[in-house]
Amino acid sequence: MSIKHTTEKALQLLRTLPRVTIGNIRDNPQSKQNKKRGRGQHGGDKHGAGNKGSGQRQNFTRLGYETGNTPFYLRFGYEPYYKGHHLKREYPPISLNQLQKLIDTDRLDTRSPIDLTTICNTGLFDIRPDLLHHGVQLTDEGADDFRAKINIEVQHAPETVIAAVERNGGVIRTAYYDPHSLYAVVNPKKWFEKGVPIPRRMLPPQDAVEYYTNARNRGYLADPEQISQERLVLAQKYGYTLPKIEDDPDYEMLVQTKDPRQIFLGLNPGWVVSLKDRAIIKAKQ
């Protein structure tokens, strides 16, 4: 009964439908696909890479590009604490723990003064004046285990570091180097090979004068008598007995200092060092 009903329904549907002709037949959906690439939105001649520039020559966009939108660094202005950030001086850190390790492995000689040049000559620290590096800062990591007696010159040091050095009978000093002098200090061999005179160290800028003239910071422009008083004050504050440098057998080494205009110990500004001839050409007075 159901089959007969279905057959009659199908025959009735055929009677109402038009006859099959060329005009009313079509292929199944997606049965035919075009093998050729279409012209696309822009004619297809650029292959989606745009018109010249970095979009055609590399497979990544430049840093900060946001595909045509206004980038982040243009949507928002500078904050006040960003003012002058690209001009601020940087001091890569060196800890007392690292300094002690350099001394124990004979990379630094405690029998002579230690400055930025001797630290760079170890080959373990990269000071880049082009990246606004103005020297090193000595940090207090390993201050309790520091046992060396040294005469060291750095560019920045906190109070705990000064106490750790002076507790062992050493001397610490903070000094400024201008960018032109730093190129000679961090790589003396390259500077001497150029055959140019040793530059004269410039005085610190206005915003650094206060730091390097303060005896608490052991600035190289501070009054020596005030430095002696601050040494006693710091010893009382941290509770250690300050050794007398005058009675030390290494007194001559501990009191060796450079002139504020001098960048190399024993070499004056204006002298020319010839590595090929192994000679020092001194300027006439």
Q: How far is CA 53 from the centre of its chain?
A: 31
Residue where the block lists tokens 């004056």: 268
Q: Using one digit for the tens of pLDDT, what is the confidence trace for 93-117?
A: 999 999 999 999 999 999 999 999 9
What phi and psi values does residue 240 have, to the nearest 5 degrees?
-130, 160
Q: Using one digit for the tens of pLDDT, what is the confidence trace for 208-259?
A: 999 999 999 999 999 999 999 999 999 999 999 998 888 889 899 999 999 9
Looking at 2.60.120.10, 3.40.50.300, 3.100.10.10, 3.30.530.20, the CATH number of the domain 86-282 comes to: 3.100.10.10
Q: Are 65 and 109 in contact (CB under 8 A)?
A: no
- The β-bridge partners of 137 are 93, 156
Poorest-confidence range of 22-26, 34-38, 54-58? 34-38
